[in-house]
Chain A
Amino acid sequence: MTTLAYRLSDSRVMLRRNLKHQLRYPSMTVMLIGLPIVLLLLFVYVFGGQLGAGLGPHLGRHAYLDYVVPGLLLITVASVVQGTSIMVAMDMTGGIIDRFRTMAIARASVLIGHVLGSLIQTLAAMAILIGVAFGLGFHSSAGPLEWLAAIGILALFAFALIWLAVALGLAAKSVETASNTPMILLLLLFLSSGFVSTATMPTGLRQFAEYQPFTPVADTVRGLFSGGAIGGHAIAAIAWSVGIAVLAYIWAVRLYNTRRAAEQN
């Protein structure tokens, strides 16, 4: 086998390990996938009536369901990457990472395994959420092309946040820290157009909301689902995703190469 083949093989082995972890740690997997579904029900049935009325005259719960699905898809992303961060921190604080480092394996394969595993988990979780949303009466006028584009945008954004979560997991001194820091992403999501239109926010907050990454992604996906215009949102969404992915990747690799596993006792 060539070096490249070895590298691919190492990453595949690590991916398999990661997927096995997800199955072996079902409480976490279920929690990460279940949270967005619980929130979907909460937003639609508890808040939906009133929030929907705010979308326009004669609109209600049903219109809000259509409006909020992109926001909940982003909750799914933020939820899964929390698991990524925890899993990476668990690896780094355990002894196994030192074993990997003393073996002649592609160094990045450990991280790549986490990233691909989490990406698969995100896509699966989003598929489940969309299934539930359709069950509740979600309506989309998107054709196959729009669906593909929406999935692409979400996957790219998820990829970026997963790398960020990997870096956060590497930077964390303990698994507890690693489980807390990604919460920031959830907060950012609530300060975006994920759940309500930014037009309804006070000025300062609105400006913040309009210039942070979650808003263009939510707007693009919403536009694709509803057949509406996506305008410059898609470009902003892609730019944010690529930017975050590149910076987080550089940060993660640097942390991974310099930081040795914390001594555990």
Chain B
Amino acid sequence: MTSVSAATGIVARDVCKSFGEHVVLDKVSLAVEEGTILALLGPNGAGKTTMVRILSTLIPADSGSMRIAGHDVVTDPDGVRAIIGVTGQFSAVDNLLTGAENLQLMADLRHLGREAGRRRVAELLEQFDLTDAAHKLLSTYSGGMRRRLDLAMTLVDQPRVIFLDEPTTGLDPRSRRTMWEIIRELAAAGVTILLTTQNLDEADHLAHQIAVLDRGRIVAEGTPAELKSRIPGGHVRFHFADLHEFHSAADLLPAAGPDQDQLVLQVPADDSVDSLRELLDQLHRARIPVERLSIHTPDLDDVFFAVTGSHVSAQPDQDPTPQGAER
């Protein structure tokens, strides 16, 4: 664990994968430095899950080279498996066992030994706030608890590289925060993390690097700050009660995009309190009453519009990996 060299982290070069005629990944390259988080950002059907499945040795790529912490995914899959942890999109837990038994199962399969295994299980139950539910069957677990257990199972043998496929999808905001905290702590402890998400906010909060995947191609990559600098800022929408107020406001705020039918003005602004106060002060001084307002922050669609000039590609709901396609 002490040797830090070029042979760490995740390196993938020109990864291609098709299911029949359908090209899912088209020469995807990415690199994740040791101890950092890369977010693979993209809509449904972009190929995120397929990329994770290939890197975690679940399905073979058609071509391309991939190394995980120096181990070649194609020629040394068992070497890869010994050092990675994977938490997939669908909960990979055993529903007929208790939380503690699930963790113990992982400890046994990782050959931790009786004492070390038991210690690690207790440690993880504590860390993931599952101690009280440790001996309950999973059928009594909430969605957030299952997701936490799922991640805990991934961490039993302290993997050096972790793949997280949409780790917070379907979680309530509080569970999502907890999950983010755990993920950040892992990276701080030196774990290399590749996570997929559809959520710009999540990528922004967690990732050191973001790669935007669209229809099997990386269309943009960089730090969150670099990416955001390419996205136009958000805007504030003011709703007015009548036409007179609407026109007065339109005269007052020339930068606004007016929508007379709906009596709405769309004014470019970031989501800082100062810029919002400035706008409201202007309207207040001119004695124009605002019925209500809404603030729009940049989202995945804006990223796509900025980097591809088109909106999020309309794709079916699922990653295009038909059942048993590689049979």
> CA separation between A6 and B112, bound complex, in Å?
11
> CA separation between A83 and B155, bound complex, in Å?
32
Interface string of B256-268 (1 = CB under 8 A from A): 0000000000000
Residues B105 and A13 in contact, CB atoms below 8 Å apart: yes
Neighbouring A residues of B88 by C-beta, 8 Å? 95, 98-99
Chain A residues touching B, range:
20 to 34
Residues A258 and B57 in contact, CB atoms below 8 Å apart: no
Decide yes or no whether B101 CB sits under 8 A from chain A: yes
Residues A99 and B323 in contact, CB atoms below 8 Å apart: no
Given contacts A13-B109, A24-B97, A96-B92, contact A102 B86 (CB under 8 A): yes
Closest to B89 in A: A95
Q: Give chain A nearest CB distance to B185 CB in angstroms.
A: 22
Given contacts A99-B153, A104-B82, contact A260 B96 (CB under 8 A): no
Decide yes or no whether B279 CB sits under 8 A from chain A: no
Neighbouring B residues of A60 by C-beta, 8 Å? none
Q: Give the total number of A-B pairs whose CB atoms are below 8 A apart.
A: 77
The one of A21, A94, A102, A263 in contact with B323, judged by C-beta atoms closer than 8 angstroms, is A263
The one of A9, A95, A105 in contact with B90, judged by C-beta atoms closer than 8 angstroms, is A95
Chain B residues touching A, range:
35 or more
> CA separation between A9 and B94, bound complex, in Å?
19
Closest to B327 in A: A258
Neighbouring A residues of B119 by C-beta, 8 Å? none
Residues A102 and B58 in contact, CB atoms below 8 Å apart: yes
Residues A260 and B59 in contact, CB atoms below 8 Å apart: yes
Given contacts A6-B111, A258-B327, contact A24 B96 (CB under 8 A): yes
Closest to B113 in A: A1
Residues B81 and A102 in contact, CB atoms below 8 Å apart: yes
Residues A20 and B101 in contact, CB atoms below 8 Å apart: yes
Neighbouring B residues of A104 by C-beta, 8 Å? 78-79, 81-82
Interface hub of A9, A98, A102, A264 (most chain B Cβ within 10 A): A102
Interface string of A97-114 (1 = CB under 8 A from B): 011111111000000000
Neighbouring B residues of A101 by C-beta, 8 Å? 57-58
Give chain A's interface residues, CB within 8 Å of chain B: 1, 6, 9-10, 13, 17, 20-21, 24-25, 94-96, 98-105, 173, 258-260, 262-264
A10-B109, A99-B88 are known contacts; what are 20 more A-B pairs with Cβ within 8 Å? A6-B111, A9-B108, A9-B111, A13-B109, A17-B105, A20-B101, A24-B137, A94-B95, A95-B88, A95-B92, A96-B93, A99-B92, A100-B109, A101-B58, A104-B78, A258-B326, A259-B327, A260-B324, A262-B324, A263-B90
